[in-house]
């Protein structure tokens, strides 16, 4: 017999949520078969079998949070399958919220749709659906690739049975001691408790860790005209190959090239030492429905702009689908956070520990500048470098930011 344990699927993982069993008790199993989906602190990952046989026991229900190393299933020769107890049931959800013609019972969130395809949802959307007893197969997702997000589930809950008001109308008047419950039923409650997802929990933990680092900040402004013109020209050339580079892709390449000349910035805090990294791995912060994740472009200084653009697009799509592999979001040596696409002019980012620095990038905005003695409008971008003072001093960080600005204002340096 072979034990199946909750694995460590990321460097920061302490526990995982068994989101969905893909094999049933009694099913034959071969090496490499996917047994279950596990929600970690970073993404939703597949648990593969390392042994062959029959899945004799399922010891953990869907939706359970399990510490790493705990026994969750047993693979054997099949002789004990009939006598083995099934996994304990998950807590029963409230009665299903139904719309006209909808069935009263809802399958567990994350199960396969009738057409045989996987229902793509965020972890938070699954939890909200489970609490309302909503069948995710009846919801059309509005997220990337048709993914069901929180807003979709909340809209379905509000519209079913005419919304919360209809539920309240069908209930008897509350007594004096039921005022709070009545308020929750008719949608008038002042507060709502939203359970933390695994991603949100680890984000909070990492931010708390980062707060312990003594930060200081340096801000510079670049004339973004040459950079934007270079991007337009580059995209004209890349269009023939079906590729396209974003401003963030240019920033990744520019930071990677600049870090070559400033190896101290490409370093990490090691508690009782400073770790200088010989390879340059640039992370790009990506916002998810329920948190933040930083996919990493490895050896970014050795890759062309076209390669970086293609890899960054794939990583962002995999991150939003919750399908990043551990090696795709760990091991970064420097991070970029760009909020320019949201119209944010300037902000300071929190360092992604144990890295020494993170670059915050604002939007390109038209600003008055003096050019050849004449007042003119030029697009500018504000860059703010957050630095761990335990690792870097002001002059070292300032020299890096100065050279990065020069590179971005003379963008041919990015590709040379």
Catalytic residue IDs: 389
Contacts of 203 (CB under 8 A, 6+ apart): 291, 292
Q: Strand pairing partners for 73?
A: 4, 58
Q: How far apart are CA 384 and CA 254, in angstroms?
A: 15
Q: How far apart are CA 265 and CA 311, in angstroms?
A: 24
Q: What are phi and psi of 158, to 5 degrees?
A: -70, -35
């Amino acid at each position: 017999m072979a034990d199946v344990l909750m694995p460590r699927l990321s460097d920061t993982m302490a526990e995982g949520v068994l989101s969905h069993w893909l094999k049933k008790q009694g099913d034959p199993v071969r090496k490499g078969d996917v047994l279950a989906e596990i929600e970690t602190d970073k993404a939703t990952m597949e648990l593969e079998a390392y042994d062959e046989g029959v899945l004799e026991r399922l010891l953990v229900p869907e939706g359970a949070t399990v510490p790493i190393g705990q026994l969750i299933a047993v693979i054997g020769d099949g002789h004990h399958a009939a006598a083995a107890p099934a996994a304990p049931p998950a807590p029963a959800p409230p009665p299903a919220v139904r719309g006209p013609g909808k069935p009263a019972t809802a399958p567990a969130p994350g199960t396969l749709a009738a057409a045989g395809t996987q229902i793509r949802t965020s972890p938070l959307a699954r939890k909200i659906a489970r609490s309302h007893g909503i069948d995710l197969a009846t919801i059309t997702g509005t997220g990337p690739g048709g993914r069901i997000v929180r807003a979709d589930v909340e809209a379905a809950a509000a519209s079913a049975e005419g919304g919360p008001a209809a539920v309240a109308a069908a209930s008897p008047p509350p007594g004096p001691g039921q005022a709070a419950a009545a308020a929750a039923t008719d949608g008038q409650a002042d507060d709502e408790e939203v359970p933390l997802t695994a991603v949100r929990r680890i984000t909070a933990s990492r931010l708390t860790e980062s707060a312990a680092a003594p930060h200081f900040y340096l801000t510079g402004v670049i004339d973004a005209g040459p950079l934007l013109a270079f991007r337009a020209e580059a995209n004209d050339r890349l269009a023939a190959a079906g590729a396209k580079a974003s401003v963030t892709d240019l920033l990744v390449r520019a930071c990677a090239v600049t870090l070559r000349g400033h190896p101290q910035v490409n370093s990490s805090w090691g508690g009782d030492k400073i770790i200088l990294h010989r390879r340059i791995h640039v992370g790009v912060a990506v916002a998810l429905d329920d948190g933040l994740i930083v996919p990493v472009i490895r050896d970014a200084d050795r890759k062309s702009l076209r390669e970086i653009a293609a890899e960054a697009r794939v990583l962002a799509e995999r991150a939003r689908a919750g399908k990043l592999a551990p090696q795709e979001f760990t091991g970064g040596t420097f991070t970029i956070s760009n909020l320019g696409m949201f119209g944010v002019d300037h902000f300071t980012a929190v360092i992604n520990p144990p890295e020494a620095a993170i670059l915050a990038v604002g939007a390109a905005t038209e600003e008055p500048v003096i050019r050849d003695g004449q007042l003119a409008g030029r697009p500018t971008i504000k860059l703010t470098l957050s630095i761990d003072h335990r690792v870097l001093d002001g002059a070292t960080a300032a020299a890096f930011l100065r050279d990065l600005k020069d590179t971005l204002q003379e963008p041919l340096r990015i590709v040379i």
